[in-house]
A and B are shown apart, each in its own frame.
Chain A
Amino acid sequence: MKKRAIGEAGWGGTAIAAIVGFIYFFPVLFIILTAFRSRSDTLATPPKWIFTPTLENFYHIFYRSMANSTEYVATGFHMYFFNSIYISGMSVLLALIIGTLAAYGFSRHPLKGNDTYLFIILTTRMLPPIIVIVPIFLIFRVTGLAGTYTGIILIYTCFNLPFSIWMMKSFFDELNTEIEDASRMDGATERSVFFGICIPQVKAGLAATSVFALILTWNEFLFALLLTNKITRTMPPAMARTIGGEINVDYGLLAAMICLFLIPILLVTYLLQNQLLRGVTFGTIKK
């Protein structure tokens, strides 16, 4: 692959890209700025671009006065934050493990009617979640999974699995199976072929799949709203409660929450970016 020098696109192209980029980024920028505005600055029209930044919104995320009181109390938000990380982390990990194994199976040891199975797996993602929420809610009530970590992690794992299987299968399909055969000839067992030969070659795929699954899970609202309780609640429903729970919507507070909410996903994406780029362009570049 030919590497181009930075700046080769010229000023004109760079300017257009910058403008488009800015338009895309503007809402995020606006939220970040809002998070640092004081309450009066937040509501000013036209928006104040020059203001004294304050951290009070961030403080209010964790401690604020509830209705009819001036006393600052802990909001328990750190717990929701932890819940989000724990629940999405676990479900993505589970989906990745099960999905990778399943994908390897589908790719290397096809069943009779392999494509049908794959299609059936995908159909579970064709319905809007709202359709299945009622039966799932009832199942969770009966089995006692409602409101538990196990319950929500399982449902998210199910949610992520079809996608992980399909994506990982396409990565396994892309591999040169001769290399696996060669290692069998060299005396490798099936297990070492999988772990030693296949997995290292689909690292990019694992990264891409986990980021996509993580983003889906991290932002998921509906299941989280209905299937978690006070203890296991994740960030999206917790933030929603902030909008509805008070007389005025505190946009500054909400913006600050969103800023915090963005950090983990940004971090993961940043850490995996090299792999990710290879992952999403996999197969499109002739090697």
Chain B
Amino acid sequence: MSTIELQNLTKSFGDLTAVNNVSLKVDENEVLCLLGPSGCGKTTTLRMVAGLEIATSGNILIDNKNVNELETRDRNLAMAFQFYALYPSLTVGENLANPLYAENLSEKEIKEKIFEIADILQLREIINRKPHQLAEGEKQRVAVGRAIIRDPQCFLFDEPLSRLDVQLREQMRGQIKEVLSDLNKATVIVTHDQLEALTMATKIAVMRDGLIEQISSPHDIFAKPENTFVAGFIGTPQMNIADCNISNINSSVLEISLLNQIIEIDFGKALDINKNENYFFGVRPRSFDLAETATNQSLSGEVDLIENMGSEVLLHVNSNDASFRTVQSRSHKIKVGDKIHLKPKKSQVHLFNSDGKVVAHG
């Protein structure tokens, strides 16, 4: 069984706590993405799993065995590095072969393995080149190849696509996902690119300042963020999050005063909240429908600025000196200065309490 489990893992560098009490579990066949801004401790977490960094406290279990005391080479893991880390003096073939030397395979077996991997990742033609003669995308494929050539317990990827250009990244994203789905191993991918996480992962752990903010499926991370950080971090353009006040509660329907307007939202169930307390109201820019006229279920405002996004436009809407953003189809032909009315889509709004914790999705 190929599983990874972290129990209360903590890593401090002097006064700085890089990873703070992280617990998570990656099952066989699961791809976990550690997602977060730079410096949130995601790479450190990965390096601790690999044994390249020693944890200050906590346990790392691989295949349900505690590997805290094991050296990197005894943990039987494979890792692809952000800067590829290819051996500069070895050819592509030799780079691929390197992990196999520790396995006591015969020359012939090693050759076969290399060609097998080279075929999967289309490396045949460049097999005799040195790393400095390769393009970024090729280096990246060699790095992945070197990681998957052995039959390790689990796979670790550190920002595998961060150095590729957009087109190549899209292509490689698909390729890696395909390769991983054939391998049936627990995999951890570190990334700061949410699109990468949302497309490749079966489970996402969002990290901030060494803490895990939320672990859920990609869809839940997007649709049901547990706090304002996750809500703001995931999704582009960023979610609109504004201070609000509950002015009236009518079973499941809340009257929310927000941006000096009053809007009625039906959350579908009675909520445990108090009138006149401060809350945060969140709604994604794409979760607005244009309304013909102002109603008590819509927000009104004047278009301040229009950003072109291809078939859609990002509108900055000004309402009583506060602004929010929405994405609308270009076909509406909205111009700067237009007054528009926006109705939040049903079950795509979020209410957070003053600590940023979610109260309701509705």
Contacts and interface: CB of A to CB of B under 8 A. Distances in A.
B83 A187 contact: no
Interface string B38-64: 000000000100111000000000000
A176 B83 contact: yes
Closest 8 CB pairs of A and B: A187-B102, A178-B85, A182-B85, A186-B99, A184-B72, A187-B73, A178-B81, A179-B85
Contacts of B102: 186-188
A189 B72 CA distance: 9
Interface in A264-287: 287
21 contacts: A176-B85, A178-B81, A181-B72, A182-B85, A182-B87, A183-B87, A183-B98, A184-B51, A184-B71, A185-B50, A185-B52, A185-B72, A185-B73, A185-B79, A185-B99, A186-B98, A186-B101, A187-B102, A187-B103, A201-B88, A287-B132
Identify which of B71, B72, B146 gathers the most chain A CB atoms within 10 Å of its CB: B72
A181 B83 contact: no
Interface string A163-193: 0000000000000101101111111110000
Given A187-B73, A188-B73, A189-B73, A181 B101 contact: no
Nearest to B103: A187
Interface in B123-154: 132, 146
B78 interface: yes
A186 B47 CA distance: 14
Nearest to B82: A178
A84 B9 CA distance: 58
A193 to B, nearest CB: 10
A200 interface: yes
A184 B88 contact: no
B89 to A, nearest CB: 6
B12 to A, nearest CB: 14
A197 B87 CA distance: 8
A173 B273 CA distance: 57
A181 B81 contact: yes
B265 interface: no
B6 interface: no
Contact of A181 (B50, B89, B99, B132): B50
Interface residues of A, number: 16
Interface of B: 47, 50-52, 71-73, 77-79, 81-89, 98-99, 101-103, 132, 146
B94 to A, nearest CB: 12
Contacts of B146: 182, 186
A200 B73 contact: no
A189 B71 CA distance: 9
A185 B47 CA distance: 11
A189 B102 CA distance: 10
Contacts of B88: 179, 201
Nearest to A190: B71
B112 to A, nearest CB: 19
Interface in A177-219: 178-179, 181-189, 197, 200-201
A82 B11 CA distance: 56
A18 B327 CA distance: 68
Interface string A144-173: 000000000000000000000000000000
A20 to B, nearest CB: 35
Nearest to B50: A185
Contact of A184 (B73, B82, B87, B132): B73
Contact of B79 (A176, A182, A197): A182
Contacts of A179: 85-88
A179 B146 CA distance: 12
Contact of B83 (A178, A185, A186, A188): A178
Nearest to B156: A185
Given A178-B85, A189-B73, A200-B89, A184 B98 contact: no
Interface in A103-124: none
B52 A184 contact: yes
B81 A182 contact: yes
Contacts of B83: 176, 178
Nearest to B51: A184
Contacts of B47: 181
A192 to B, nearest CB: 10
Nearest to A186: B99
Contact of B77 (A185, A188, A197, A200): A185
Contacts of A189: 73
Contacts of A184: 51-52, 71-73
A182 B84 CA distance: 9
Identify which of B71, B77, B82 gathers the most chain A CB atoms within 10 Å of its CB: B71
A58 to B, nearest CB: 44
A181 B85 contact: yes
B196 to A, nearest CB: 19
Contacts of A287: 132
A185 B78 contact: yes
Contacts of A188: 73, 102
A181 B73 contact: no
B13 to A, nearest CB: 11
A124 to B, nearest CB: 29
A186 B98 CA distance: 7
Given A182-B86, A197-B87, A200-B89, 20 more contacts: A178-B82, A179-B85, A179-B88, A181-B47, A181-B52, A182-B79, A182-B85, A182-B87, A184-B71, A184-B72, A185-B52, A185-B73, A185-B77, A186-B73, A186-B99, A186-B101, A187-B102, A188-B102, A201-B88, A287-B132
